[in-house]
Structure 1
Amino acid sequence: MTVDLNSDLGEGFGIWTLGDDEALLDVVTSANVACGFHAGDPTIMRDTCERAARSGVVIGAQVSYRDLAGFGRQRMDVPPDRLADEVTYQIGALDAFARAAGTRVAYVKPHGALYNTVVTDSAQAEGVVEGVRRYGSLPVLGLPGSALLSAAEAAGLATVTEAFADRAYTPDGHLVSRREPGAVLHDASAIAARCVDLATHGRITAIDGSTVTVGARSICVHGDTPGAVEIARAVRAALEAAGITPQAFA
């Protein structure tokens, strides 16, 4: 059995850094690299792509609303055609640095509020997909059953389902809002155990104790939470101990 491990990287800006990208690149198989709209700048994008290339980690474009102040976590009413332009722009910017590092952008994943919005908002989902389609036939990474993946399939793009190692789920398979208590998990051993259950049985326990079926080819381990590196290492170690090989999907 194999499963992809992805993480959001390159999320600093200027003199500010966020997370230990170098350590996470020794753990994950895919890197969702910020493209400058919610975090990241040209130097950080170049450096992250070079590090990922050296580590043999696949690069994905982590596209977002234009929201540096809110770290991409504020929902915005962006017209779908403009959203498509901004998605294409972000992919192209990151791909320039990826190609300079001897690799390429291999997939696209929305970030933050945009990720949550395109779970149910078909118009915004189609805007994101149009932005991807204009650039090329890149796979789209997203939540199972989301409007985003439905729109991507309709456009002929490959889709990849993912689950989150350290986020709480609602009974209907959506992520619990970060504004709610218990939305982010912190116990490394518990998180590792739920990831093994997810990879082997395709299920996850929701915040109310019910069981949710989640078919995921990729598991996201966040890089911006306390103890992120320890959590990611625990997840990888637990998967490998269970006979599951971390392997990029792209």
Structure 2
Amino acid sequence: TNGGGIRASIDKNQDVTLGDIITVLPFGNTISQIQVKGTDVEKMFEHSLSAPVENGQLGANGAFLHISKSIRVYYDINKAPGERVLKIEVLNKQTQQFEALDPNRTYYMTTNDFTASGGDGYDMLGGLREEGGSLDKVFSDYLREADLSQYDTDKISRIINGQPPVAQTEEQADTETQPATGDTAQPAPNTTTPAVPTQPALQPVASTQTTQSTASTSNVIPFPAATTTAQAGTSQVNASQNSASMTAHQTTTAQVNSAVTNLET
């Protein structure tokens, strides 16, 4: 979802009321599912990352996308707007592996109706869409029904300023494990005559005691990853959306637990 649709924060360690949810998501947006070509996904993230750079960081931008854990975007902040995206990866739900975005493939994307209809400059979207429930209702149902006692509070990098890691190919791995070939020097034969062993003198056998030490081990249980991220409504009022974008980026963990922009292969 676009950051400008998240209008407030929710304090931790307190009960969350319906009024709190309406304060966070005040625009009555609904969830929409649309079909998007891979080329339009690239344009979408270029637009999301097009804000001017301020003190080495992207400036405030209500159109900045907050995305689900099924997407990873690598970009270079030093490049010109429209040329910053380096790579986009999408999670394959069957293999649970990230794969490079296919520009010729059609993806299903879930977002709010404002963004899906081209709001905040996302004119590469639009078109037919399937409408779902309202964001505030979906969010309140999630808070009521989800088991938040096991929620992962670790921050996960999804939009990353930097080069994507280089994957090692099978051919490279095989090359690294093969021994070097070529002429190698043969070791010289051992011509030394072995010494004749002599019988050692008999010694009294001393009794010995052995002690066993047992090392304790600890099992590290990985914390489960968060499975749901927040989606927020967006503003249908023009300039007010971007003016509040600084607040939009200060969302708490509880906000990031609604439906969000989600690309699926």
Greater helix share, 1 or 2?
1
Larger Rg: 2
Which structure is richer in relative contact order (CA contacts within 8 A, separation 6 or more)? 2
TM-score (norm 1): 0.27
TM-score (norm 2): 0.26
